[in-house]
Amino acid sequence: MKLNERSENILDFIVRDYVRTAFPVSSERINKKVSLGVSPATIRNTMLELDKGGFLEQLHTSAGRIPTDKGYRYFIQNLMRLKEPQADIRRSMDEIFSRSGEIFEELNSAVSRHLRLFSAIFLENENRFFKHGLSEVLKEPEFMEQGRAVNFVDLTEHLENMVSGIFQRKNKNYNEPDFIIEEFGMAGMFFEDEDWGRFVMISLGPRRMNYEKAGSVLKYAKRQKQYG
């Protein structure tokens, strides 16, 4: 289902604003922040249509909206734009990739710090994981709920199925990140290297994680590893 331009603009703002603030987005906020050239009533009606289409949900009667899984997927497939990451992480990755020897611990740590997400690298040849950033990502407001925090920690300790899925899907689009939106969010990238063999980089966070930023960093890493 392809949304019209107004609906896309509203969904785009809601996803980006919710990712940044972790607060549901009201029609009043959209009216103040986005130049749509329509009345507040039209914005409210469009949000209702997005509700009915399954792209938004309202957690409480008087609250604003947040994206659903379907809303995030539409954003990833149609609205987000992967671009050059910020200069600091580009410099860090370029410097790390220029070295000889094992770089995965430092690379994973740099990506995790920049994204403020849990990050992992899995080396297929060695059947080995590098993991970083769990304590930082658990500071996100979603993990104030103990059960959700426990589920996330359990996921980080059992990444084998997630990594296996990325290996299996690698031929679908070799140079693009892989995204999963379920209870939590994931961005992943498959790599194949003459020296290090096949490996996967993934970043995990709350469902509200910044997929655009994570995907941009992983795509840059893939490009630098291939052509840098």
* pTM higher than 0.75: yes
Give yes or no for a contact between 36 and 10, defined as CB atoms under 8 angstroms apart: yes
| CA–CA gap between residue 54 and residue 70 (Å, rounded) | 6
pLDDT of residue 102: 85
pLDDT of residue 60: 78
3-class DSSP state of 31? helix
Domains belonging to the chain, first-starting first, are 5-79 (1.10.10.10), 87-227 (3.30.450.40)
Cα-atom radius of gyration of the chain, to the nearest Å? 19
Among residues 128, 122, 138, 25, the alpha carbon closest in space to that of 71 is found at: 25
Backbone angles phi, psi at 177, to 5 degrees: -65, 155
pLDDT of residue 169: 77
How many Cβ atoms are within 10 Å of 174's Cβ, its own excluded? 12
Per-block average pLDDT, block size 10, for the chain (228 residues)? 93 97 94 89 94 93 88 97 95 90 92 97 94 96 96 96 84 80 95 87 97 97 77
pLDDT of residue 195: 80
pLDDT of residue 194: 83
